[in-house]
Structure 1
């Protein structure tokens, strides 16, 4: 498979943190911290990352929070050849993928082992998830309100945490098994990354809030 260790992780979000322009102007991320035990929230230091924001223990590695998994969600596309577009859909309850997700156990599922998926994950071209032409492109982090990608994502993520929602993260498990990345479209790459194109291997974040499922796809 072009996308290594591709699958879907069902979990519960508890914390988040954005990388702003001054921290990483090239390839910033939303770090969404979560666990996958809905019956017992693990112990963790909620202030851990904040304490080290300006002096991380290792500037070359993302900062994890002991006791939690981390989803690294791109909020800017690196380089001049590509742009990050996003789609938000607050009601996708009639899409066939919803029932498949509800039936999953909590935890990470390699897509070839996820019941009902038949080795197929998200596909933004073939999956009839949304109209691809409707995607919006916003800057990563600029002054002002409601004018950048952080302004769009933060209310959705905060609501998911406040309402103890269930999240579904599509992407690649870290080699350390403590989180997930490639939570973005994984096909249609520019020439030098074309080898990474993965059919039915796109990444994305879906949030289930009560009887409604919110789709946030990056």
Structure 2
């Protein structure tokens, strides 16, 4: 089985706060904020970077995001929408859909030191604060908490190596780890009452693309934003 994935459509009910968490040799930083989801308080954790200069976050923060998924989401009911096992939009896959078409280049996050002035923290805080002030619907894609009400992994969820490799076993998928998967990528979208929404997409420098049917990097994989080498019979331009 795959990990529990989907999105939440709701309004922010608590001010976003930057929080650190220790992961092996680095400190990862998340913006946490609350959503009221079908009468229950949910915690949201959005990755914004790390203290490790060798494992920076790549991100896109787009204020004029245009994609057909907008119309689909705008008509969706408020609340949580499970998408586990789906292989088409509105489930997100950075590699297998046109979600990121015409969204520009990836940018590197600053090295995080706990400051809210670092990017993308500062810009994302402004966007979320605007959503609070305008009571705008917010859409958070990611994996649901295994315990309690919440959603996290609001970033690309494929292409990782080491302990995140997705393993197949005789009886199906091995869910003993927080593994790669396809059609389980995360994002934050905000409807600010305009024709174009705002969107935040993120991935770690150590995540590689393209990926196979399990979401693991292929032999030709490279860091996101860096093209894989051309086949030998195709000369470079």
Q: Are residues 1:125 and 2:95 paired?
A: yes
TM-score (norm 1): 0.72
> Which secondary structure state, in structure 2, belongs to the residue aligned with residue 91 of structure 1?
strand
Mapped partners of 1:175, 1:186: distance in 2: 16
Q: How far 1:198 sits from its partner (Å)?
A: 1.6
Residue matched to 1:172: 143
Q: Are residues 1:207 and 2:190 paired?
A: yes
Q: CA 1:152/1:121 → structure 2, altered by over 3 Å: closer, same or farther?
A: same
Residue matched to 1:17: 17
Mapped partners of 2:13, 2:100: distance in 1: 28
Structure number with larger C-alpha Rg = 2
Check the 8 A contact 2:142/2:185 in 1, yes or no. yes
2:57 to 60, 81, 84: 84
Q: How far 1:26 sits from its partner (Å)?
A: 0.6
> Which secondary structure state, in structure 2, belongs to the residue aligned with residue 155 of structure 1?
helix
Mapped partners of 2:41, 2:122: distance in 1: 25
> Which secondary structure state, in structure 2, belongs to the residue aligned with residue 153 of structure 1?
helix
Q: Count residues with an aligned counterpart.
A: 185
> Which secondary structure state, in structure 2, belongs to the residue aligned with residue 134 of structure 1?
coil
Gaps of 5+ in 1: 43-66
TM-score (norm 2): 0.67
Q: How far 1:129 sits from its partner (Å)?
A: 2.4
1:36-185 alignment, distance < 5 Å: 36=37, 68-77=41-50, 82-93=55-66, 95-112=67-84, 121-130=91-100, 134-142=105-113, 147-185=118-156
Check the 8 A contact 1:82/1:190 in 2, yes or no. no
> Using CA pairs below 8 Å that are at least 6 residues apart, which structure has the higher relative contact order?
1
Mapped partners of 1:113, 1:187: distance in 2: 14
Q: How far 1:112 sits from its partner (Å)?
A: 4.9
Gaps of 5+ in 2: 167-178, 203-237
Mapped partners of 1:29, 1:159: distance in 2: 18
Q: CA 1:151/1:166 → structure 2, altered by over 3 Å: closer, same or farther?
A: same
Q: Are residues 1:31 and 2:32 paired?
A: yes
Q: CA 1:198/1:79 → structure 2, altered by over 3 Å: closer, same or farther?
A: farther
Mapped partners of 1:74, 1:176: distance in 2: 19
Mapped partners of 2:116, 2:78: distance in 1: 36
Q: How far 1:140 sits from its partner (Å)?
A: 4.6
> Which secondary structure state, in structure 1, belongs to the residue aligned with residue 49 of structure 2?
coil
Higher-strand-fraction structure: 2
